Amino acid sequence: MPGFEIFGDEERKEVTDVLETGVLFRYGFEGARNGHFKALEFEKKLCKITDSNYSHLCSSGTAALCTALAACGIGAGDEVIIPGFTFVATFEAIINAGAIPVFSEIDETLCLNPDRLEDVITSKTRAVVPVHMCGSMARIDEIKNVCDKKGLILLEDACQSIGAAYQGKALGTFGLAGCFSFDAVKTVTCGEGGGIITNSKEVYQKADQYADHGHDHLGGPDRGADDHPIIGTNYRISELNAAVGLAQLNKLDRILDTQRKNKFAIKDAMADLPDVSFRYIPDTKGDSATFLSFFLPTEDRARQIAKNLADNGVGCPYWYDNNWHYYKKWHHLKEMKRSAKLAFELTGNLPDYKNLVLEESDNIMKRTLSMQIMLSWTKEDVENRIQAIMKSFKG
Q: What is the pLDDT of residue 215?
A: 98
Identity of residue 275: D
User: Is residue 343 pLDDT above 80, yes or no?
Assistant: yes
- Kindly state the average pLDDT of the residues 231-246: 98
Can you tell me the distance from the alpha carbon of 154 to that of 141, in angstroms, rounded to the nearest whole number? 11
Residue 259 bridge partners (DSSP): none
Active site residue 45: no
pLDDT digits (tens, 9 = 90+) for 42-59: 999 999 999 999 999 999
The strand ranges marked E within the chain are 54-58, 79-83, 100-104, 125-128, 153-157, 165-166, 169-170, 177-181, 194-198, 277-278, 291-295, 368-372
pLDDT over threshold 90, residue 253: yes
Q: Taking residues 234-255, what's their average pLDDT? A: 98
- pLDDT band at residue 349 under the 50/70/90 scheme: confident
Q: For 297-315, how does the pLDDT look when each residue is reduced to its tens digit (9 = 90+)?
A: 999 999 999 999 999 999 9
Segment 175-193 mean pLDDT: 98
Which structural domains are found in the chain, ordered by start? Answer: 3-251 (3.40.640.10), 253-394 (3.90.1150.10)
Instruction: Tell me what the mean pLDDT of segment 247-261 comes to.
Output: 98
Residue 1, pLDDT score? 82
Average pLDDT over residues 114-143: 98
**Span 12-29, pLDDT tens digits:** 999 999 999 999 999 999
The active-site residue, picked from 45, 150, 169, 186, is: 186
| Other beta carbons less than 10 A from residue 266's beta carbon | 20
Q: Rounded to whole angstroms, what are the CA distances from 36 to 11, 46, 178, 209, 289?
A: 14, 17, 26, 22, 33
Q: Give mean pLDDT, residues 104-130.
A: 98
How far apart, in whole angstroms, are the C-alpha atoms of residue 303 and residue 229? Answer: 54
Q: What is the per-residue pLDDT for 294?
A: 98
Q: Note the pTM of the prediction, 2 decimals.
A: 0.97
pLDDT of residue 348: 83
Is residue 152 predicted with pLDDT exceeding 80? Answer: yes
pLDDT at 395 over 80: no
For residue 248, pLDDT over 80 is answered with yes
pLDDT at residue 285 is higher than 80: yes
Mean pLDDT of all residues in 265-283: 97
Beta strand 54-58 with 79-83 is: unpaired
The rounded percent of the chain whose pLDDT value lies above 70 is 100
pLDDT at 135: 97
Say whether pLDDT at 250 is over 80: yes
Burial of 300 (0-12, 13-18, 19+ CB in 10 A): exposed
Q: Quick one: pLDDT at residue 272?
A: 94
* Residue-level pLDDT at 57: 98
**Residue 143: what pLDDT?**
98
Distance CA 228, CA 215 (A): 5
CA 313 to CA 45: how far, in whole Å?
38
Asked whether the predicted pLDDT for residue 367 surpasses 80, the reply is yes
